[in-house]
Amino acid sequence: MYTLSNRLRLFSIILVVVGLIGLVAGFATTPGSIEEVKEMMASHDDHGAGHGESVAAENEVHAGNTIHAEAPLDKDAHEGDAHYEHILHQLQNKPWAALYIAAFFFFMIALGVLAFYAIQFAAQAGWSPVLFRVMEAITAYLVPGGLILFVILALSGFHVNHLFVWADPEVVAHDALIQGKSGWLNGTGFIIRAAIFMGGWILYRQFAVKYSRKQDEDAVDNKWYKKSFKISAGFLVFFIYTESMMSWDWIMSFDPHWFSTLFGWYVFAGLFVSGITTIALITIYLKSRGYLEFVNNSHIHDLAKFMFGISIFWTYLWFSQFMLIWYSNIPEEVTYFITRIEDYKLPFFGMLIMNFIFPLLILMNSDFKRLNWFVVMAGIMILCGHYIDVFNMVMPATVGESWFIGLSEISAVLLFLGLFLFVVFGALTKAPLLAKGNPYIKESKHFHY
């Protein structure tokens, strides 16, 4: 049995408190009116000069995505207030977007682990059963993390904040494209779908964990194992549909004028690799504390291979999406990447280095994949890279060029990191770390590659 050390508990509580304070400060320091924005921008004089020039370009780039879709381009007449109002909305969105990104990021880790867990069952993998309890503990975050995300989604879907443009009736009234999509993109449908997705995922999680525990007590005939196998297969079918729709709802609808067919897969690859990386990191941590004596470096090697392979898979999808849109250069599609390349150059291309080049070179060598510190280093890089990936998907549509990784962003990450650690390590104490009833457990203990 794992016992949660007081230091870890204290550490996670401190993270939550610090994150919460920082986030409240982030919300408190957002400007409330155009006048405050003007003041703020005047105090950054050198900065303001640069902004004036880019007004026209900005209006073009954001045309359609914001309230200023029909703002006339003749600068003299409207530039002043329309521009400041635009900036005001971006700045007001900033802490909300930071909160949303962090909430989604940690939720997607738990979801990625859940998908990985189900695949291990459906594939009857012989190497991974010793890691099942670690995976079950990580998926415990689905419930609290999902609830928080659900509340944020509900607030946004009903326009308490301005995260989703399509939720703003004023925008929709002037936007024929969003009107055409309002059959799907409306607050009620949005919430109902979110409830179905999360309900299904959490339901699978609860039953899978329950069966796994029961299999420990009653391994005769593998009754519970077989049930687990069946619901895992069913869950995977449900998951691949809901995950795809989830990515349209929760990520792609930030840019309601834009669409991409492989987007669901792209989001999936990101969450899958983050989930696997988290399994590897927590396994290495627990092993270093002496809790997983049956895990050997071949298990780590296998996890690292998955991290390596799925990182490349993610890059493949990223590039397929980018290159097809770049190549054909259709204006209605390509604005998505133009805003990102113009305003987010460093995060947009930096994430490619973190998510592709780095794991490619670090994790290619078979010997390196057995070294804990190598896997940890690559893992931290991959997780940071995928945080920035989500950042790149959400921020351009919500805060535009007013982005910055500052107080709100870091605080939100700390808040959810603390919660994540607290829930996951708390869940680890609930059951023995070896799923001893699993029919493959012996093979897994002797797994050697």
Partner 1 sequence: MSSKVIHALYKDDDLLMQAVKQTREAKYHIEEVYTPFPVHGLDKAMGLAPTRLAITSFLYGCVGLTVAITMMNYIMIEDWPQDIGGKPSFSYIENMPAFVPIMFELTVFFAAHLMVITFFMRSKLWPFKQAENPDVRTTDDHFLMEVDTTGHNVEELSKFLSNTGAVEVSLIDKHN
Tokens of 52: 């004036």
| Least distance (Å) between residue 327 CB and partner 1 | 6
Q: Give the largest CA-CA distance in the chain.
A: 81
Q: Is 330 in the site for partner 1 (CB under 8 A)?
A: no
Tokens of 441: 């457990």
- Measured from the CB atom, the residue of 28 and 346 that comes closer to partner 1 is 346
Q: Return the exposure string of 203-239: e unless at least 16 CB atoms fall within 10 Å of the residue's CB, then b.
A: ebbeebbebbbbbbeebeeeebbebbbebbeebbebb
- Measured from the CB atom, the residue of 106 and 358 that comes closer to partner 1 is 358
Q: Which of 326, 374, 384, 392 contacts partner 1 by CB under 8 A?
A: 326
CA distance 268 to 253: 16
Number of residues that bind partner 1 (CB under 8 A): 8
299 touches 447 (CB < 8 A): yes
Segment contacting partner 1 by CB under 8 A, of 64-72, 303-311, 326-334, 385-393: 326-334
Burial of 370 (0-12, 13-18, 19+ CB in 10 A): middle
DSSP code of residue 294: T
| Least distance (Å) between residue 313 CB and partner 1 | 14
Distances (CA, A) of 181 to 184, 253, 372, 430: 6, 10, 49, 45
Q: Is 449 in the site for partner 1 (CB under 8 A)?
A: no
CA distance 236 to 114: 10
Segment contacting partner 1 by CB under 8 A, of 136-144, 196-204, 287-295, 316-324: 316-324
Q: Which of 197, 225, 322, 425 contacts partner 1 by CB under 8 A?
A: 322
Tokens of 341: 């390349």
| Least distance (Å) between residue 207 CB and partner 1 | 38
| Three-state secondary structure of 199-262 | HHHHHHHHHHHHHHHHHHHCCHHHHHHHHHHHHHHHHHHHHHHHHHHHHHHHCHHHCCCCCCCC
Segment contacting partner 1 by CB under 8 A, of 91-99, 110-118, 209-217, 319-327: 319-327
Q: Is 349 in the site for partner 1 (CB under 8 A)?
A: no
Tokens of 388: 């920035």
- Measured from the CB atom, the residue of 287 and 301 that comes closer to partner 1 is 301
What is the identity of the amino acid at 218?
Answer: D
- Measured from the CB atom, the residue of 158 and 337 that comes closer to partner 1 is 337
Q: Is 366 in the site for partner 1 (CB under 8 A)?
A: yes
Q: Is 263 in the site for partner 1 (CB under 8 A)?
A: no
| Least distance (Å) between residue 329 CB and partner 1 | 7
Nearest to 408 by CA among 14, 15, 12, 27: 27
Number of helices (H), then strands (E), belonging to the chain: the values are 19, 0
Q: Which of 14, 17, 77, 323 contacts partner 1 by CB under 8 A?
A: 323
Segment contacting partner 1 by CB under 8 A, of 77-85, 115-123, 247-255, 318-326: 318-326
What is the separation, in whole angstroms, between the first and last Cα of the chain? 27
296 touches 447 (CB < 8 A): yes
Q: Is 357 in the site for partner 1 (CB under 8 A)?
A: no
Segment contacting partner 1 by CB under 8 A, of 66-74, 217-225, 321-329, 439-447: 321-329
What is the identity of the amino acid at 291?
Answer: Y
| Least distance (Å) between residue 377 CB and partner 1 | 20
Q: Which of 329, 330, 429, 442 contacts partner 1 by CB under 8 A?
A: 329
Q: Which of 5, 80, 210, 319 contacts partner 1 by CB under 8 A?
A: 319
Q: Is 373 in the site for partner 1 (CB under 8 A)?
A: no
User: Please, what is the Cα angle at 326 between 321 and 331, to 5 degrees?
Assistant: 110
Q: Is 248 in the site for partner 1 (CB under 8 A)?
A: no
Q: Is 364 in the site for partner 1 (CB under 8 A)?
A: yes
- Measured from the CB atom, the residue of 3 and 328 that comes closer to partner 1 is 328
162 touches 93 (CB < 8 A): yes
DSSP code of residue 376: H
Q: Is 206 in the site for partner 1 (CB under 8 A)?
A: no
Segment contacting partner 1 by CB under 8 A, of 37-45, 71-79, 202-210, 325-333: 325-333
Tokens of 330: 């259709």
What is the identity of the amino acid at 3?
Answer: T
| Least distance (Å) between residue 326 CB and partner 1 | 5
Segment contacting partner 1 by CB under 8 A, of 280-288, 324-332, 400-408, 414-422: 324-332
| Least distance (Å) between residue 298 CB and partner 1 | 14
- Measured from the CB atom, the residue of 212 and 339 that comes closer to partner 1 is 339
Q: Is 446 in the site for partner 1 (CB under 8 A)?
A: no
Report DSSP letters for 157-200, one per residue: HTTSSSS-GGG-HHHHHT-HHHHHHTTTSSHHHHHHHHHHHHHH
- Measured from the CB atom, the residue of 323 and 380 that comes closer to partner 1 is 323
Provide the binding-site residues for partner 1, judged by CB under 8 A: 319, 322-323, 326-327, 329, 364, 366
